[in-house]
Amino acid sequence: MGADLKGKSVAFIPTASLNEAYKDYVEEGRQALQALGLKVEELEVTTKTKTEIAEILNRTDLICVMGGNTFFLLQELKRSGADILIRQQIEKGKPYIGESAGSIIVAPNIEYIRLMDDTTAAPQLKTYDALGIVDFYPLPHYQSEPFEAAADEIIKQYSHLDLHPFTNAQVLIIDGNSVKLEHVEK
């Protein structure tokens, strides 16, 4: 897969991390993409207009949305119009990489993640309806500290949802209607 990516460009969206104290994972994610040969173009949606966001999404080959606070991320994607633009790009076939919060926002709704993320980080978020790219609910950080207890509680309280838990050493690969859970090496 790495050879297929060499020389391609990725819109790198770190927005979810803006209000987080720990942010090292953002740089680690950027470096991992660069190690695959990707040209990383940062797209901070809080500082861009809808036109600028559309231009960056149109000229890049992939989209990568990093982790952080899921509620803040969704608030800012909706405020900027990036939610609609990203959904349109994915529907046209553009590959999407979501890490943590970035994986959660493709669900129909993010209310279930309130036990893992602070909803008060997004005071302007009116609804928890998310991108709705998939019809299930990704649950990152399963069996992974410091989120292990929160993930277990989400599984208990939201057993009526089609949750797809995965650890920090796993990825969900979605291709059309196919969903695969794979283990990854660091």
Q: Which residues are catalytic?
A: 100, 141
Q: What is the spatial distance between Cα 56 and Cα 25, in angstroms, rounded to a whole number? A: 23
Tell which residue, 183, 150, 153, 152, has the closest CA to residue 168: 183
Q: Which amino acid type is present at position 119?
A: T
Q: What is the spatial distance between Cα 70 and Cα 117, in angstroms, rounded to a whole number? A: 7
- For residue 11, with 0-12 CB atoms within 10 Å meaning exposed, 13-18 middle and 19 or more buried, which class applies? buried
Task: Transcribe 94-143 into DSSP letters.
Answer: --EEE-THHHHTTSSB-GGGGGTS-GGG-TT----B---SSSSEEETTTT
CA angle 11, 31, 146 (to 5 degrees): 95
